[in-house]
């Protein structure tokens, strides 16, 4: 039994296929073993944990520092308010209304003070600007009642106060603007399409395996809601450091990963979970990358799913990423779709599950070369080596006959002078045919 396992492992290593016994081991055990010598121990360096460019929940892990032109945020004040955190939004929402009420309350109190309403309010025959306004607190309450149109009926503006009428018009107009802006900000913030992205799922890992004799990089996406994403499209980027031929170092270079842009496969009908496939061909950045090389590389794959929310028509974007340690070589995704009575059922318990499959450890370039060689072998076997034996070679024929005597040379010239004008295979065709192996 042990001998059979050893033979199977040797066979897998010869054809370049990772065996199940080897792949089930942790990654640090699958790497090159530590060489033991009498004097020292040498081990391969262990990868350090790297910082993500895009987190699993789609948040970009980039902070903008040393921004000098901060005034640009106030040029688009509405977007700035929408992008604020919830606790800061609630604070600004409350602060704007309180400051607005205090400001106009101070103006109502100032009018009452200038007109003398605070002093002569209790005198008979005195008509104040605002009845029952005798302090700053009452002026503040009147400002709230005016802007919110509560109208308790206790404090009322009179017709003999033109400055109060003008102030009432100004407060009504400015109050409507403040209400529209703040309520609009809160409504947009609540209905932001990024909340719709919370129900869009990406698989925890990406896998590399063979599909239709081609090496492919795959990951899975799904939508938990029954309301679909309209005009859904997906794209992917490879993020890794690069050094140009001129010596320039680019820390986070972005390379496009084709997942069906030329064939239209990037347009998704996301009703059930889909496996997105990237064919590793000559234009792919993984074309010359084998299993050994991938374990040494440091990269990150960012995937972006975009579409319109069916309920609101707003554009939604969901993001996720896969580090090099989250790309599994030699695995496939477990099926999640099953046919029931009258409908298809999706089992999301298996959404992130993968299973092992035989996959060459060589690069996609080497695999394509091997497949081309195997395709040429049957064609070469059809060419029989016996065909070369029937080829007529007059030089070899003359060399085998030997030189002619003077009498034979004269006879040959007299009897077959015309035969010397035909060479090669044409001369052989002019020989008389044989019947039953005997000359006629």
Inside any domain, residue 58: no
Inside any domain, residue 34: no
Q: Report pLDDT digits (tens) over 401-418.
A: 455 555 555 444 554 444
Inside any domain, residue 169: yes
Note whether 275 and 259 are same-domain residues.
Answer: yes
Note whether 130 and 254 are same-domain residues.
Answer: no
Evaluate if pTM is beyond 0.75: no
Average pLDDT of the residues in 224-237: 89
* Whether residue 350 has pLDDT greater than 80: yes
H or E segment and range at residue 93: helix 86-115
305 falls in which pLDDT band (50, 70, 90)? very high
Q: What is the CATH number of the domain that holds 232?
A: 2.60.40.1400
Q: Report pLDDT digits (tens) over 114-156.
A: 988 888 767 777 888 888 888 899 999 999 999 888 878 788 8
Mean pLDDT of all residues in the chain? 77
Q: Report pLDDT digits (tens) over 65-78.
A: 777 777 777 777 88
Note whether 159 and 222 are same-domain residues.
Answer: no
Per-residue confidence (pLDDT) for residue 328, from 0 to 100: 94
Percent of the chain, pLDDT > 90? 34
- Write down which residue in 334, 366, 398 finishes a domain: 366
Domain that holds residue 175: 74-192
Residue 302 exposed, middle or buried by CB count within 10 Å (0-12, 13-18, 19+): buried
Inside any domain, residue 39: no
Note whether 178 and 201 are same-domain residues.
Answer: no
Q: Report pLDDT digits (tens) over 154-197.
A: 888 888 889 999 999 999 999 999 999 999 888 888 877 777 78
- Write down which residue in 176, 192, 208 finishes a domain: 192
Note whether 209 and 302 are same-domain residues.
Answer: yes
Q: Report pLDDT digits (tens) over 242-278.
A: 888 888 898 889 999 999 888 888 999 999 999 999 9
Question: What is the count of structural domains for the chain?
Answer: 2
- Chain centroid to CA 70: how far? 32
Q: Could you please report the per-residue DSSP string of 300-366?
A: EEEEEEEEEETTT--EEEEEEEEEGGGEEETEEEPP-EEE-SSSEEE-GGGTT-EEE---BSS-HHH
* Whether residue 79 has pLDDT greater than 80: yes
């Amino acid at each position: 039994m042990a001998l059979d396992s050893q033979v199977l492992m040797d066979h897998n290593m010869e054809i370049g296929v990772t065996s199940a016994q080897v792949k089930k081991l942790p990654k640090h055990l699958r790497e090159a073993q530590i060489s033991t010598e009498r004097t020292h121990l040498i081990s391969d360096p262990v990868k350090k944990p790297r910082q993500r460019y895009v987190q699993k929940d789609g948040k970009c892990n980039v902070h903008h520092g040393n921004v000098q032109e901060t005034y640009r945020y106030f040029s688009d004040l509405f977007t700035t308010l929408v992008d604020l955190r919830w606790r800061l939004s609630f604070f600004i929402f409350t602060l704007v209304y309180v400051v607005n009420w205090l400001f106009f309350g101070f103006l109502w109190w100032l009018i009452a003070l200038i007109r003398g309403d605070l002093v002569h309010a209790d005198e008979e025959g005195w008509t104040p600007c605002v009845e029952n306004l005798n302090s700053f607190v009452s002026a503040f309450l009147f400002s709230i009642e005016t802007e919110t149109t509560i109208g308790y009926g206790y404090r009322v503006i009179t017709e003999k106060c033109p400055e109060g009428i003008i102030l009432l018009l100004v407060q009504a107009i400015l109050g409507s603007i403040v209400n529209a802006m703040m309520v609009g900000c809160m409504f947009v913030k609540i209905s932001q399409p990024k909340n719709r992205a919370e129900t869009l799922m990406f698989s925890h890992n990406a896998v590399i395996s063979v599909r239709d004799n081609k090496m492919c990089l795959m990951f899975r996406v799904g939508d938990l809601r029954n309301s679909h994403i309209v005009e859904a499209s997906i794209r992917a980027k490879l993020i890794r450091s690069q050094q140009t031929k001129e010596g320039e170092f680019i820390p986070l270079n972005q390379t496009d990963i084709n997942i069906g842009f030329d064939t239209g496969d990037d347009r998704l009908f996301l009703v059930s979970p889909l496996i997105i496939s990237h064919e590793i061909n000559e234009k792919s950045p993984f074309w010359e990358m084998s299993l050994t090389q991938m374990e040494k590389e440091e990269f990150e794959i960012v995937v972006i799913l975009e579409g319109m929310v069916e309920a609101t028509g707003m554009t939604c974007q969901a993001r996720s990423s896969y580090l090099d340690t989250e790309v599994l070589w030699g695995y496939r995704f477990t099926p999640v779709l099953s046919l029931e009575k009258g409908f298809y059922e999706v089992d999301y318990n298996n959404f992130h599950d993968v299973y092992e499959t035989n996959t060459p450890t060589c690069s996609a370039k080497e695999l394509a070369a091997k497949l081309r060689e195997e395709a040429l072998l049957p064609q070469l076997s059809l060419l029989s080596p016996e065909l070369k034996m029937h080829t007529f070679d007059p030089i070899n024929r003359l060399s085998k006959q030997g030189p002619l005597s003077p009498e034979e040379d004269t006879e040959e010239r007299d009897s077959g002078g015309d035969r010397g004008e035909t060479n090669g295979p044409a001369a052989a065709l002019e020989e008389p045919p044989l019947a039953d192996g005997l000359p006629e």
